[in-house]
Amino acid sequence: MRRARTWLPGLLLVAPSIVAIGVFVYGMLGWNFRLAMTDKHDEVSEGTFVGLDNFVGIWDQPRWHLSVDHAIMFTVVFVLGALVLGWFLAFLMEKGIRGEGTFRAIYLFPMAISFVATGIVWRWLMNSGMGERAVGLNRLFDAIGLPQWQWFRDPDWGMAAMALPAIWQMSGYVMALFLAGFRGVPEELREAARVDGCGEWGVYRHVVLPLLRPVTLSALIILGHISLKVFDLIVAVSGKQIITDVPAVFMWVAVFDSHDPAKGATIASYIVLSVAIFVIPYLIWSVRKERRS
């Protein structure tokens, strides 16, 4: 152990950030959990400790079930959609192609736009009006002989449609990640596999794919945590409508419309837990991996 004189100044310099993270991240997460375990269901009451009652009780509310189902469908469609599309685009560009820079720039630019602005365009595109009243994609689909859809107003598949703008926005990012992953595969490895008699497909399966696993995992984590807390996009596309409710919007309604802090805190806690459950193992794993190398 080096002497304290050498490391103490560093610790002091980071101290403000340590305090800030301690208070604003961990302190407030704890505060929020504690609030979720009280019966403070209005702005004025003190709130007494009720344990996990709120966490159990919320499952009696149909709206909660609906918002959880919606979040799951949104997450599955968004994560898989962005992952597959991003991978596919990277796969097509992997070996280099004329105009690659332009392609990349176009696929990636939606990342620079806010979810709110994205939501506004896509609300127009996914307008559920049909026939004479159709605008957006329905009008276009009608013109080229495709069926018209309810889009995000569809009671069963609405959240799958809601994932489309999110896929539009994030698949370029996934493409960039995969492209970096593809390019990170040493050419000698591919060559060695070819010498061993692997066809191009074999090289891909046995050499490239395994090496893409870390990138795939990163992309999954990033997409997953964006998805579980999705808020801006839903609000911009459909506001507070029940038909597209998700936990983050439900929480907003609980805080500002129902004025029920304990309920808002309970929903927020569930959102945190749903993300923490896969992010914490991932972080521990990646820090350990970095230390090994």
Please report, as residue ranges, which positions from 232 to 251 form the binding site for another protein (by CB under 8 A): 232, 235-236, 239, 247-248, 251
Query: By three-state DSSP, how is residue 49 classified?
Result: strand
List 32, 148, 150, 241, residue binding another protein (CB under 8 A)? 32
Residues from 216 through 235 that contact another protein (CB under 8 A): 218-219, 221-222, 225, 228-229, 231-232, 235
List 3, 17, 188, 257, residue binding another protein (CB under 8 A)? 17
CB of 134 to another protein, least distance (A): 6
CB of 60 to another protein, least distance (A): 21
Q: Which amino acid is at 273?
A: L
Site string for another protein, 134-173 (x = CB under 8 A): xxx--xx--x------------------------x---xx
Q: Which amino acid is at 65?
A: H
CB of 270 to another protein, least distance (A): 9
CB of 268 to another protein, least distance (A): 4
Contact criterion met (CB below 8 Å) for 264 and 254? yes
Token pair 């960039």 is at which residue? 176
How far is the C-alpha of 86 from the C-alpha of 172, rounded, in Å?
Answer: 6
Residue 38 DSSP label? B
How far is the C-alpha of 66 from the C-alpha of 78, rounded, in Å?
Answer: 18
**Does residue 20 bind another protein (CB under 8 A)?**
yes
**Does residue 192 bind another protein (CB under 8 A)?**
no
When the beta carbons of 156 and 272 are compared against another protein, the nearer one is 272
How far is the C-alpha of 50 from the C-alpha of 40, rounded, in Å?
Answer: 10
CB of 282 to another protein, least distance (A): 9
List 28, 52, 192, 277, residue binding another protein (CB under 8 A)? 28
List 56, 84, 180, 209, residue binding another protein (CB under 8 A)? 180
How far is the C-alpha of 160 from the C-alpha of 236, rounded, in Å?
Answer: 16
Contact segment (CB under 8 A) with another protein among 55-63, 68-76, 115-123, 188-196 equals 115-123
The site for another protein, by CB under 8 A, has a size of 98
CB of 114 to another protein, least distance (A): 4
**Which distant-in-sequence residues (6+ apart) come within 8 Å of 28 by Cβ?**
none
**Does residue 103 bind another protein (CB under 8 A)?**
yes
Burial of 5 by CB count in 10 Å (0-12 exposed, 13-18 middle, 19+ buried)? exposed
How far is the C-alpha of 252 from the C-alpha of 230, rounded, in Å?
Answer: 12
CB of 69 to another protein, least distance (A): 19
How far is the C-alpha of 159 from the C-alpha of 152, rounded, in Å?
Answer: 6
**Does residue 117 bind another protein (CB under 8 A)?**
yes
Closest among 226, 106, 114, 118 to 176, alpha carbons compared: 106
Tokens of 191: 């060559």
**Does residue 61 bind another protein (CB under 8 A)?**
no
CB of 143 to another protein, least distance (A): 8
Contact criterion met (CB below 8 Å) for 55 and 36? yes
